[in-house]
Chains A and B, each alone.
Chain A
């Protein structure tokens, strides 16, 4: 008869497994102790390699053992001929490969592999690339391997072209892969750089050459191909964000150059304000003020003590230096670190003067996207609109359309933009406050543009559902601002940049914090009806605004505070017209 197969019972199997485990653990612990003892005894021999090998092959994440191994290898290296060293390290590579099979995401393994390659007399980069390819084909998102691969590519001089094909391949097999798209964005500018412009851009008011036109831009022909690739990805799966991010990168441009965007001087306060294109720390940036050819010893301060980095910096001139209306003065601000400077002339009879780049001719607020030809952007907008027709709820598509519209014509598309923001908040309620903030930002930008086209110093943002304030550095000259009927919670420290502000209207918000009303030298009138100011201490910063005479606080919880009137008159003695 034929023997029927008998199978061990589960209990038997488990018991066996348990014993096996126990045995393994015992062996592991005793080997570990032996190794650590050897290390502290400073023994660097073959046996050490053997022991660490056993331990690491079952647990490749034991970093101390890799360190010990390196010590041993470095020692053995000194004792051997070159050929033998090569062999020694090659066998090390084989060993690491086995460990990677145990844990392909072991930090220790990958780091050790990088190190071994630096010690190897003749590293075989082709084999290493092959290893990376195999590893990435198993898990295309193994970032350890991506990191290692970058090292290998750099050392072996693989051509950029080949690398681009490599990303083609990975994206082709699964385009949900940030690593590949990102890698692409580093390769394209090398392979297809944007040709340098024939002459320096005329619009640039600064004598320095703009850094916008070298570095990470890609030539138009290739860009069009990349747009198409992204279209294929997001039309195939519009919910996959990796392609959308890549697309945003394609449409985007280099960051704005750092420069002095504005110098403002006022006789009355004997004060100079300087605005920069980005927040800076002026005290450490080597800012120098020259008045009528004489360098001045001045102290720079930001508009609010809480802003260490600020786009606006102030200094007081020595008393009497410019107060005489009949004198003409020339100021120059030197920013030595960036080798740039800006002049400003204060003419006879003028109380103030400034020199600036306006937001309109800088196309400041289009910087979110691109300086590409508007025809290209227009075509991209069409593609996205086509997708939106098919996927009216897709947030990535909506957001991209908004950005494209802003790049093309922020004012012309304002209505559509607002409608899209509304849809965005509905389809993606988790991020609705982000969208509100972004929408506020765009609305402020549009208002600034309108104001500058109209060349006025009155700025009205009332009834726009604003949730946040930004671009306040662009409002350096504004004298009247109306923020009524919005959803603002605070007047942030940046608000102190409005150095010319005389009248503030901010009724019907939810403001509970007035931090930004700080040392505003010209502020005379503040209306804060129907807000959320609760405590007397919230009003303390107003005391620094020395010209404040009219204050309207009706409809704020603060009126319930005991002795509020007397406390207030003590805090703000100059305020003559107080409404509670």
Chain B
């Protein structure tokens, strides 16, 4: 594809494709603003991204390289584009939001056993990482153009009309290169064949590292682990804006908690309470009674007014709830700390309860193919309404009018000057010089691939949310999400486990103690759990990654010294849901366009008039492609105000909505 200059003027230029930025992009584009949406990375969603296993390995590589590579600034290129009366505010080329990344592999890998035994604490196993990056190179088509390379950017200037513009992992799964993994495996084997020959005894049923790599495409590993409250801001927005049609969702099947050394199911819905074997009938009644009270606790102030200044925990004690119940409510339903005040605890409980039953017996949904789908869905919406997308394409500096102190243009990494009225940027692009405050918090993350569920049950295809109260009083509470293969985030026979907590130190220090309580972590890769029954009942960790992610959610506009039409979006916060990011997007949008509606429902495809040709373009194929007449009419009549139809809405093929290319 030939190099093509971008249009030189946009209403809004947005840098970063994380959730907040993508929602703003969709919202602006939807009401008719021209939007240029850029990301310096070669993938969508920034720190919200999901990766295949191989993709994640190359992400790890990139992280590592970024630590080493000295970025040479190309200041002279853009200096010449700054006129008099203008100031240039350079942006950061380096993303420092991820730190302390460490990877350990415990899956058996015959020949490499020795090395891994020796260096289990090193962040990267050299041999391993090399082979992996090679594979990844062969695998993903866009992965290796260097971020700064000027001559390779030709392919960047894509029009939003190309289908693969909004590339979705699930589409990747269907596209080509089936032979690739086996090829690379051969490569690897030949490469390693020189090492002292272990007899190639295949360990049956055991998942080797090679198997993970080979099946790497089946993984969609999120950098951020969040769930969607079924009545949270994100779900409401997805429904309201019709963006829900671009994704599919699965219910979280159960809420678990770790208590007295055991993983237990938390009875939270009526059906759970009914079926629970851990609770006595009296406890059942007390729990239901308390939860019913929480549903409209504001109506009964006399019940809690003496406790408004006291912790929720004390209120629970006062309510004569058994210890069992106090634990469930505090840690797993309200999900608050020991110190949270009563009213906040009641509100959290209420929110949890109100979300029950909308889609299932837990309050949560999870997007199939990973959370990284969601920003992409909004990007797609933006593109449908004319937004232009470029990956591996960033902004070097902002051009600020000295008089008005407003950004009037940006200069992109290809040296093009693009004028705009508003500039939206993700926090990690901001240089320290522009910051007033650098009081970040950190999120500690661990991603595990395990061989079975922490609580096996009849159905092995459930997503579980596990709350783990602080193991010691000083330690943070840990949130764990265990994804099954039917969530399309891991290969069959494995579970993908995300652990998240607010950091008190390095991710590994924060989370390894929890992992060793809940999982079997072998000292020798591929080793069978020891004979102790307790160890054998725990799932074995095959692979684990730790990292810290910067949590900038505490910052606001006063934290930056930037022109007033520059809107900084902070990255993911440490909470379970995405409400913070959605609210931020909405407030930025209203800042930019105070009089416009935020994400009004997108029209039905058949109501869109195409340039020149009306009826032909609206493809009768669309109607046929929906599953059944019934589904379609439901989706249409009840529209998206009726949440139960969300699934059927998503069955509509989203690609047909893309306007016909102008070429």
Q: Does B554 contact A (CB under 8 A)?
A: no
Q: Does B232 contact A (CB under 8 A)?
A: no
Query: B275 to A5, Cβ gap below 8 A?
Result: no
Number of interface residues of B (CB under 8 A): 34
Query: A172 to B271, Cβ gap below 8 A?
Result: yes
Q: Does A212 contact B (CB under 8 A)?
A: no
Closest B residue to A9 by CB, please name it. B607
Most buried by B among A6, A98, A172, A231: A6
Q: Is the interface of A mostly helix, strand, loop or mixed?
A: helix
Q: Does A396 contact B (CB under 8 A)?
A: no
Chain A residue contacts of B282, Cβ below 8 A: 235, 386, 390
Query: B630 to A101, Cβ gap below 8 A?
Result: yes
Closest B residue to A235 by CB, please name it. B281
Chain A residue contacts of B631, Cβ below 8 A: 101
Query: B609 to A2, Cβ gap below 8 A?
Result: no
Query: B288 to A236, Cβ gap below 8 A?
Result: yes
Q: B244: shortest Cβ distance to chain A, in Å?
A: 19
Query: A102 to B629, Cβ gap below 8 A?
Result: yes
Q: Does B549 contact A (CB under 8 A)?
A: no
Chain A residue contacts of B284, Cβ below 8 A: 232, 235-236
Stretch at the interface among B207-215, B308-316, B380-388, B484-492: B380-388
Residues 348-378 of chain B, each 1 if its beta carbon lies under 8 Å from chain A, else 0: 0000000000000100000000000000000
Query: A6 to B270, Cβ gap below 8 A?
Result: no
Chain A residue contacts of B271, Cβ below 8 A: 172-175
CB within 8 A of A3: which of B270, B630, B662?
Answer: B662
Closest A residue to B660 by CB, please name it. A3
Complex CA gap A390/B280 in Å reads 14
Complex CA gap A572/B386 in Å reads 102
Chain A residue contacts of B388, Cβ below 8 A: 2
Query: B32 to A4, Cβ gap below 8 A?
Result: yes
Chain B residue contacts of A5, Cβ below 8 A: 384-386, 603, 608, 659
Chain B residue contacts of A3, Cβ below 8 A: 386, 610-611, 659, 662
Known contacts A4-B386, A387-B285; A172/B607 CB under 8 A: no
Residues 1-16 of chain A, each 1 if its beta carbon lies under 8 Å from chain B, else 0: 1111111100001000
Chain B residue contacts of A98, Cβ below 8 A: 628-629
Complex CA gap A6/B605 in Å reads 11
Known contacts A172-B274, A391-B285; A6/B608 CB under 8 A: yes
Q: B39: shortest Cβ distance to chain A, in Å?
A: 19
Q: Does B91 contact A (CB under 8 A)?
A: no
Complex CA gap A238/B629 in Å reads 41
Chain A residue contacts of B281, Cβ below 8 A: 231-232, 235, 383, 386-387
Within 8 A of B (CB), among A342-397: 383, 386-387, 390-391
Q: Does A416 contact B (CB under 8 A)?
A: no
Q: B113: shortest Cβ distance to chain A, in Å?
A: 47
Most buried by A among B274, B286, B607: B274
Complex CA gap A3/B388 in Å reads 12
Query: B608 to A7, Cβ gap below 8 A?
Result: yes
Q: B31: shortest Cβ distance to chain A, in Å?
A: 11
Known contacts A101-B629, A175-B274, A387-B285; A2/B608 CB under 8 A: no
Q: Does B300 contact A (CB under 8 A)?
A: no
Known contacts A6-B608, A172-B274; A237/B386 CB under 8 A: no
Q: Does A233 contact B (CB under 8 A)?
A: yes
Q: B275: shortest Cβ distance to chain A, in Å?
A: 5
Q: B14: shortest Cβ distance to chain A, in Å?
A: 16
Complex CA gap A173/B662 in Å reads 52
Q: B165: shortest Cβ distance to chain A, in Å?
A: 12
Closest A residue to B161 by CB, please name it. A2
Within 8 A of B (CB), among A234-284: 235-238
Chain A residue contacts of B270, Cβ below 8 A: 174-175, 236-237
Query: B607 to A2, Cβ gap below 8 A?
Result: no
Known contacts A102-B629, A386-B282; A236/B608 CB under 8 A: no
Closest A residue to B274 by CB, please name it. A236
Closest B residue to A173 by CB, please name it. B271
Residues 187-223 of chain B, each 1 if its beta carbon lies under 8 Å from chain A, else 0: 0000000000000000000000000000000000000
Query: A237 to B288, Cβ gap below 8 A?
Result: yes
Complex CA gap A7/B281 in Å reads 58
Q: Does B148 contact A (CB under 8 A)?
A: no
Residues 434-472 of chain B, each 1 if its beta carbon lies under 8 Å from chain A, else 0: 000000000000000000000000000000000000000
Chain B residue contacts of A236, Cβ below 8 A: 270, 273-274, 284-285, 288
Query: B160 to A233, Cβ gap below 8 A?
Result: no
Q: Does B289 contact A (CB under 8 A)?
A: yes
Query: B609 to A6, Cβ gap below 8 A?
Result: yes
Chain B residue contacts of A1, Cβ below 8 A: 7, 662
Query: A2 to B630, Cβ gap below 8 A?
Result: no
Complex CA gap A238/B281 in Å reads 11
Query: B286 to A390, Cβ gap below 8 A?
Result: yes
Most buried by B among A3, A231, A233, A236: A236
Chain A residue contacts of B386, Cβ below 8 A: 2-5
Q: Does B650 contact A (CB under 8 A)?
A: no
Complex CA gap A415/B196 in Å reads 91
Q: Does B125 contact A (CB under 8 A)?
A: no
Q: B99: shortest Cβ distance to chain A, in Å?
A: 40
Closest A residue to B603 by CB, please name it. A7
Complex CA gap A172/B628 in Å reads 30
Complex CA gap A452/B96 in Å reads 94
Q: Does B159 contact A (CB under 8 A)?
A: yes
Within 8 A of B (CB), among A4-41: 4-8, 13
Complex CA gap A7/B604 in Å reads 9
Q: B247: shortest Cβ distance to chain A, in Å?
A: 21
Complex CA gap A237/B284 in Å reads 9
Complex CA gap A1/B386 in Å reads 9
Query: A8 to B630, Cβ gap below 8 A?
Result: no
Q: A232: shortest Cβ distance to chain B, in Å?
A: 5
Chain A residue contacts of B273, Cβ below 8 A: 236
Closest A residue to B361 by CB, please name it. A173
Complex CA gap A102/B385 in Å reads 34
Complex CA gap A397/B284 in Å reads 16
Within 8 A of A (CB), among B249-294: 270-271, 273-275, 281-282, 284-286, 288-289
Binding site for A on B (CB under 8 A): 7, 32, 159-161, 270-271, 273-275, 281-282, 284-286, 288-289, 361, 384-386, 388, 603, 607-611, 628-631, 659, 662
Taking A98-B629, A172-B275, A174-B271 as known contacts, 4 extra A-B pairs with beta carbons closer than 8 A to each other, sorted by chain A number, are A3-B659, A172-B271, A235-B284, A390-B282
Sort A-B residue pairs by CB-CB distance and give the 6 closest, nearest first.
Answer: A101-B630, A235-B281, A6-B609, A3-B611, A235-B285, A2-B386
CB<8 Å pairs between A and B, sample of 9: A1-B662, A2-B161, A3-B611, A5-B603, A8-B608, A13-B607, A98-B629, A172-B271, A236-B288
